[in-house]
Structure 1
Amino acid sequence: MKTIALIEDNWGGHRPTYLKIFTKTLLEFGHQVIVFCPEPKELSEWIIQNSCLHPERLYSFKFQKPEPSSFPVLQIRLILNAVNCWRNVKKSIQYVSLKIGNSPDLVFFPWLDSYLAPYLTHHLIDTIFPYQWSGLYFHPRHLRLRQKFWSICRGPLREHAMLKSAHCPAIAVLDEGISEKLQSKIGGKSVITFPDFTDTSPPDFNFPIIQQIKEQAQGKKIIGLLGSQSKRKGLLTLLEVAQQMAQEEYFFVFAGRLAEQTFTVQELTNIQNFVNSGQSNCFFYFESIPDGTAFNTLVNICDILFAAYEKFPHSSNMLTKAAISEKPIIVSKKFCMAERIEKFKLGLSINEGDVDQCIEAIEDLCYQEEMNNRNLQPHFEDYRSLHSTAQLKSAFQKILDKL
């Protein structure tokens, strides 16, 4: 039995789901698990409710990210924020270790990105943080997109430079398309591809807005943009699509908290004007939707899922949601999501921000469904299997084997 500490400082989106499943997986392995998170009571209750093995081996503690630095220079501010995060974790672990009489054999970060920064190498962190550590690196953007100041910020100055630490035995990623490239950049250290699993709770059609959506849709095909309504999610593109298809038999659902900070003042004004116009083929619900039953119900009532994100080269578990509910999905061309769409035939890809291509994709997907002509021949079951919690067990074990 090993002692594994999990560090999570955010309780939004799918991050609670990931933390709960990681905790469950490690308990089922028979390990002692120390969890630091914003909602330790919710986590402990979930473990009990889901009949997890060895709940007595779980210790959960309240944890929050430290206040961000206000230093005026961006790069220095990023470094200070990352260093403060590492110090905060160290302090928390030391306190809890004294309390329970045990130190962790591994500290695992379900969202490692907050602890990495350009210009920060492992040498400083190794002096600050004495524990073995690993984590899931969600957004290694520089391995998919050409970044500004590339000639300056490379080699020992890149975000991944910290991953060369001798205290880090292995790293996890979601994007199988960059795992070998990352491995070569960190000296051949193991890079394990994790499944992009999701909450599989069954839908509950008593969720308050479901009947409202169905009544307003009046039998039209429903296209859904679900989750955070941010600029990078393609919200502006889908609004334009909805406007151009106002006279056709399609209904558009925009459900999730509006990320106002991602838009300009003029864009926000345009969005508000569109919402206030009362266009009959749209439904807006700008409130947070927790992952699980509520979110899955919205997925279930959609005929097509829209995930043509902008400047987003990474994995998204909307693909997993689509595969579970067997709904076709529209994504942006290039990168991880498009590569999976092509491989598993889950839907269609378009150039990001291309309204005409999006309209064509919607019509093509609906036509194929109506004509019962499955030219796509989607491999939903194969995708579900590859991105399941069952796959997580073997992936996580590969990291533990490195200890």
Structure 2
Amino acid sequence: MLRAVGVLDERSIAPGEYMTGRKFVHFPDFTNEKYEENHPFERDLRAFKGNAPLILAIGHLQKAKGIMTLAELALNSSSSHLKFAFVGEGRLKRGTLRSVVKLLRNKPNVLFKLGRIPDGVAYNACIHASDILFAAYHDFAHSSNTLTKAAVFERPVIVSDGHLMAERTRKYRLGEIVKQKDPESALEGIIRITNDYQGWVSRNKPEWNTYRQLHSTAQMKCAFASLLSAYGLG
């Protein structure tokens, strides 16, 4: 007999328990936190960005992840002082990624590092080299460990308004919330951070450590213990 349910979206706990009479347990969206200094991926990105702020899109480079939005804002003359990196894999022969590469291939402030990211260490090296994580996804209502990565490495995020990522970003002050599919709004959010990074941190006081602890492997153990206790196994 079902007695408990584990969920990633904390918003479903109260209604779920009300409708089912079962215990709902929030599971953290934890991530690999391993980091190695002087990783080749980080060296490449730091050499590319120089002293400019680096905006990073990483992972599966597809339309739903907002890469066309990032491409359009990278074309804006107001973003010429910024650096942009697209790191990860996608369909280069056709589709959105091909369009992005075609638009930006001659821009000196844009870097493409395309292909499968070999492991979590390389992934984390890219995040450590960046200044802002771009996560203004399209119609994405779910949890994402991009926020956990951002909290681990203390990097502000750009997220689209209207869904769970925006709610968490707003609650823990993890970055800037922008209009979905709106390059100008996204650029404004980026500039609010990069114009005075330390000032932005001082004003917003992001709760990176709190968020990191809430979405940690230690918290996962607690969540499992809570599930087991519902079955009298704890």
- When normalised by structure 1's length, the TM-score is 0.54
Judged with a 3 Å threshold, the aligned counterparts in structure 2 of structure 1 residues 395 and 369 are, in CA distance, closer, same or farther, namely same
Residue 400 (structure 1) shift: 1.6
The percentage of counterpart residues that share the same residue type is 33
Match of 2:223, as an amino acid? Answer: A
Contact 1:198 1:321 in 2 (8 A): yes
Judged with a 3 Å threshold, the aligned counterparts in structure 2 of structure 1 residues 383 and 266 are, in CA distance, closer, same or farther, namely closer
**Cross-structure match for 2:100:** 271
- The reply to whether residue 255 of structure 1 matches residue 90 of structure 2 is no
**Cross-structure match for 2:51:** 219
Residue 184 (structure 1) shift: 3.3
Judged with a 3 Å threshold, the aligned counterparts in structure 2 of structure 1 residues 283 and 377 are, in CA distance, closer, same or farther, namely same
**Cross-structure match for 2:34:** 201
- Counterpart Cα distance in 1 of 2:118 and 2:32: 10
**Cross-structure match for 1:365:** 193
**Cross-structure match for 1:181:** 15
**Cross-structure match for 1:149:** none
Match of 2:224, as an amino acid? Answer: F
Which of 243, 252, 256 lines up with 2:75 in the alignment?
243
- The reply to whether residue 323 of structure 1 matches residue 151 of structure 2 is yes
More relative contact order, 1 or 2 (CA 8 Å, 6+ apart): 2
Judged with a 3 Å threshold, the aligned counterparts in structure 2 of structure 1 residues 372 and 173 are, in CA distance, closer, same or farther, namely closer
Which of 210, 224, 230 lines up with 2:62 in the alignment?
230
RMSD: 2.1
Judged with a 3 Å threshold, the aligned counterparts in structure 2 of structure 1 residues 359 and 248 are, in CA distance, closer, same or farther, namely same
- The reply to whether residue 191 of structure 1 matches residue 20 of structure 2 is no
Contact 1:196 1:387 in 2 (8 A): yes
- The reply to whether residue 379 of structure 1 matches residue 207 of structure 2 is yes
**Cross-structure match for 1:7:** none
Match of 1:251, as an amino acid? Answer: K
Structure 2 unaligned runs (5+)?
Answer: none
Judged with a 3 Å threshold, the aligned counterparts in structure 2 of structure 1 residues 335 and 220 are, in CA distance, closer, same or farther, namely same
- Counterpart Cα distance in 1 of 2:215 and 2:63: 27
**Corresponding residue pairs, total:** 231
Local SS of the residue matching 1:227: strand
- The reply to whether residue 388 of structure 1 matches residue 207 of structure 2 is no
**Cross-structure match for 1:157:** none
Q: Radius of gyration: which is bigger?
A: 1
Contact 1:242 1:252 in 2 (8 A): yes
**Cross-structure match for 1:332:** 160
**Cross-structure match for 1:150:** none
**Cross-structure match for 2:117:** 289
Contact 2:90 2:97 in 1 (8 A): no
**Cross-structure match for 2:129:** 301
**Cross-structure match for 1:97:** none
- Counterpart Cα distance in 2 of 1:170 and 1:184: 13
- Counterpart Cα distance in 2 of 1:230 and 1:259: 8
Contact 1:232 1:311 in 2 (8 A): yes
